């Protein structure tokens, strides 16, 4: 009888809307659950009977109520809340954190990134599941190997010996050259102009105070100022050394530059024309030389395309310049006071003929000249720039630790002319302006900056995470290095994963097999450190749903009440 079916139809409505209330209630109760995704109830009708077919072949169908067709999950991302914990993480975009149950080895997945460290320094959630990730290679700084537990047990930053020291020192160009024959002695301040220090590490992380001494030795033939440098440590720190006695590292006889002795003035009083040879074009690009012999010296005149005339004596360091303008005479004063009179003759088939006519004066003493650079030498140009750096690797034979090789870098030498080839000018083969580090100026000595690599041993102090999911360890010695990169799981259909409680999900037949990858790659989301994803439940929408469900439940109860009244009326037919 159809009237009885009406009771069951009303009952199906009560049952379905009752389940819908449970779903909405579950959403509301999880409004503050991390990473929770709200669910929606979709209803479907129940067809039970065809009561007849009309003459037009249209079936007359009677439904049998309602049922829950599906309960779907809203995968929209929840808002992010900032935290102060370095192990808190939130996913921006697709993906789920992969967690391993240490008891069963079973993997589960979650959007809740509230992680902590357990007593074994494993990265876990509140239930003790261990977060999964890829170890980071310390050389390439990239994730390698297979997915495994993220653990920070037994981590330490092994000490690293110093290999390079970069010195930014200001040397005083006004420093007086030391007396001829002065030999460097690390223990005697009278044998050098300036000393500075830097601490270097050995292979065990022990620091050693290393002194660097600088000595101005004079000018080279081009007028550049030359400095020798030396390095020394207390003998107690070296194998075979004597405590309290500074011991030079590197050095040796070849480390000091060779300086010529001071010469007497050249007094040329000849008034006649000198014997000259050479005819050339003064304005040509190629250099042309005229040579003249006189009493006490031989003079060479050279010219270049810019019209600069240079007269140099065979006495080292004696030179002077003039500017050729036209045919005629010019006097060039040399550095020792000698005056050379030049006459530029008429043009001929070979160019312009030049003649050295006479010399007078010559009263100044000839200054010492650096004739050979030492193996540990810095040469500075006219603007105080470093144009030549001789800096061999120093070997420190530490007592109680492995020997270490240290390169002293004083900047990127600029080079200057044929004397200092560009690549050969710098010990590290990196050329520059010559003003990056050690320079020479008129003023006081100063150490502007001293940097060196290497470090002592250290222990894990704290953790940091970046947007790529890399977890960095910061150690007590100041070192920071990537240790792990968090793994994210992506499912073909993550909306149908099985809920197992505690904000955890597990793979189902309908979800498909997960792919584990790196954040930001292959469609995976990125990581927001110091943040947690909140529930995506919209309370306003849930309350609206609750009202609609309540009204639906009341309407179905009315169906049952009406049917009951109809049955009561039927019972009254027979008295």
* Domain-located, residue 541: yes
Mark whether 548 and 527 lie in a shared domain. no
Residue 485: the pLDDT is 96
* Domain-located, residue 329: yes
Ranges of beta strands (E only) in 10-102 are 39-53, 59-73, 80-82, 89-92, 96-100
Mark whether 375 and 254 lie in a shared domain. yes
- Give CA–CA dist 565/558, Å, rounded: 10
Mark whether 442 and 463 lie in a shared domain. no
What range does the domain containing 39 cover? 2-76+536-571
Residue at token pair 């991390």: 34
CATH of the domain at 222: 2.60.98.20
CA-to-CA separations, 336 to 204, 313, 361, 452, in angstroms, rounded: 57, 10, 9, 45
Query: CA torsion, points 437, 442, 443, 444, in degrees to nearest 10?
Result: 60
**DSSP label of 127:** T
* Domain-located, residue 528: yes
* Domain-located, residue 150: no
* Domain-located, residue 123: yes
Residue 276: the pLDDT is 42
Distance of CA 383 to the CA centre of its chain: 33
Mark whether 173 and 248 lie in a shared domain. yes
Residue 326: the pLDDT is 56
Mark whether 445 and 466 lie in a shared domain. no
Residue 296: the pLDDT is 53
Mark whether 298 and 352 lie in a shared domain. yes
* Domain-located, residue 10: yes
The answer to whether the CB of 370 falls within 8 A of the CB of 387 is no
Mark whether 242 and 113 lie in a shared domain. no
Neighbour tally for 532: CB within 10 Å: 22
Mark whether 97 and 54 lie in a shared domain. no
Q: Of 551, 236, 547, whose CA–CA distance to 400 is shortest?
A: 236
DSSP code string of 321-354: EEE--SSEEEEEE-TTS-EEEEEEEEEETTEEEE
Mark whether 517 and 540 lie in a shared domain. no
Mark whether 513 and 561 lie in a shared domain. no
Bridge partners (DSSP) of residue 333 are 339
Residue 136: the pLDDT is 94
Which of 360, 393, 417 is at the close of a domain?
360
Residue 449's φ and ψ, nearest 5 degrees, are -160, 145
Mark whether 496 and 508 lie in a shared domain. yes
End-to-end Cα distance, the chain: 21
Bridge partners (DSSP) of residue 91 are 527
Task: Quote the number of domains for the chain.
Answer: 4
The answer to whether the CB of 41 falls within 8 A of the CB of 19 is yes
The answer to whether the CB of 425 falls within 8 A of the CB of 432 is no
- Give CA–CA dist 438/449, Å, rounded: 9
* Domain-located, residue 366: no
Question: Alpha-carbon Rg of the chain, whole angstroms?
Answer: 45
Which of 296, 328, 360 is at the close of a domain?
360
Residue 270: the pLDDT is 39
pLDDT tens string, the chain, 575 residues long: the values are 567 778 888 888 888 999 999 999 999 999 999 999 999 999 988 877 666 666 666 667 777 888 888 888 898 999 999 999 999 999 999 999 999 999 999 999 999 999 999 999 999 999 999 999 999 998 888 988 899 999 998 887 788 899 999 999 999 999 988 887 888 999 999 999 999 999 999 999 999 999 999 999 988 878 889 999 999 999 999 998 899 999 999 887 778 888 877 655 444 443 333 344 444 444 443 344 444 444 456 667 777 666 677 777 776 777 777 766 555 667 777 776 677 766 665 554 444 455 554 455 544 445 678 888 899 999 999 899 999 999 999 999 999 899 999 999 999 999 877 667 777 898 988 889 999 999 999 989 999 999 999 988 888 889 999 999 999 999 988 888 999 999 999 999 988 999 999 999 999 999 999 999 999 998 899 999 999 999 999 999 999 999 999 999 999 888 889 888 888 888 888 76
The answer to whether the CB of 60 falls within 8 A of the CB of 47 is no
Mark whether 53 and 181 lie in a shared domain. no
For 288-334, where are the alpha helices, taking DSSP H only? none
Global pTM reads: 0.63
* Domain-located, residue 195: yes
């Amino acid at each position: 009888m159809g009237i009885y079916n009406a009771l069951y139809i009303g009952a199906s409505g009560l049952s379905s809307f009752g389940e819908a209330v449970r779903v909405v209630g579950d959403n509301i109760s999880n409004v503050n659950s991390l990473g929770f995704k709200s669910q929606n109830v979709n209803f479907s009708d129940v067809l039970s009977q065809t009561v007849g077919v009309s003459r037009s072949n249209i079936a007359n169908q009677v439904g049998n109520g309602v049922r829950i067709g599906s309960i779907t999950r809203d995968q929209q991302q929840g808002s992010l809340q900032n935290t102060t914990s370095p192990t808190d993480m939130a996913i921006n975009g697709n993906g789920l954190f992969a967690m391993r149950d240490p008891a069963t080895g079973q993997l589960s997945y979650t959007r809740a990134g509230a992680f902590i460290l357990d007593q074994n320094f494993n990265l876990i959630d509140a239930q003790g599941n261990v977060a999964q990730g890829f170890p980071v290679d310390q050389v390439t700084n990239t994730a390698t190997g297979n997915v495994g537990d993220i653990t920070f047990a037994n981590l330490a930053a092994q000490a690293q010996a110093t290999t390079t020291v970069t010195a930014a020192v200001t040397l005083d160009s006004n420093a007086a050259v030391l007396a001829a024959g002065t030999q460097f002695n690390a223990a005697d301040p009278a044998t050098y102009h300036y000393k500075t220090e830097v601490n270097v590490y050995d292979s065990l992380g022990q620091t050693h105070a290393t002194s660097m001494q600088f000595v101005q030795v004079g000018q080279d033939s081009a007028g550049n100022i030359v400095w020798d440098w030396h390095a020394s440590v207390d003998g107690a720190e070296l194998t075979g050394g004597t405590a309290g006695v500074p011991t030079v590292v590197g050095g040796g006889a070849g480390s000091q530059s060779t300086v010529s002795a001071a010469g007497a003035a050249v007094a040329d009083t000849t008034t006649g024309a000198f014997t000259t040879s050479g005819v050339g074009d003064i304005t040509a690009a190629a250099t042309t030389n005229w040579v003249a012999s006189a009493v006490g010296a031989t003079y060479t005149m050279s010219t270049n395309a810019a019209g600069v005339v240079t007269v140099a004596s065979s006495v080292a360091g004696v030179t002077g310049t003039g500017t050729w303008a036209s045919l005629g005479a010019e006097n060039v004063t040399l550095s020792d006071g000698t005056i050379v009179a030049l006459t530029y003759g008429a043009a001929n088939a070979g160019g312009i003929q030049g003649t050295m006519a006479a010399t007078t004066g010559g009263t100044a003493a000839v200054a010492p000249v650096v004739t050979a650079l030492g193996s540990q030498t810095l040469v500075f140009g006219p603007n105080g720039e470093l144009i030549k750096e001789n800096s061999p690797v120093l070997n420190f034979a530490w007592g109680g630790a492995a020997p270490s090789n240290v390169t002293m870098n004083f900047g990127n030498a600029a080079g200057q002319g044929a004397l200092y080839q560009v690549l050969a000018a710098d010990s590290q083969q990196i050329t520059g302006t010559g003003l990056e580090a050690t320079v020479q100026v008129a003023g006081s000595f100063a150490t502007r900056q001293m940097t060196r690599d290497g470090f002592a041993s250290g222990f894990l102090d704290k953790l940091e995470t970046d947007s790529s999911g890399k977890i960095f360890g910061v150690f007590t010695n100041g070192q920071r290095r990537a240790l792990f990169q968090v793994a994210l799981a992506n499912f073909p259909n993550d909306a149908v994963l099985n809920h197992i409680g505690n904000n955890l999900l597990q793979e189902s037949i309908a979800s498909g097999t997960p792919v584990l990858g790196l954040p930001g790659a292959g469609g995976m989301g990125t990581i927001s450190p110091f943040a947690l994803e909140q529930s995506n439940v919209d309370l306003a929408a849930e309350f609206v749903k609750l009202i609609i469900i309540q009204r639906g439940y009341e309407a179905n109860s009315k169906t049952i009440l009406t049917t009951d009244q109809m049955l009561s009326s039927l019972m009254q037919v027979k008295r």
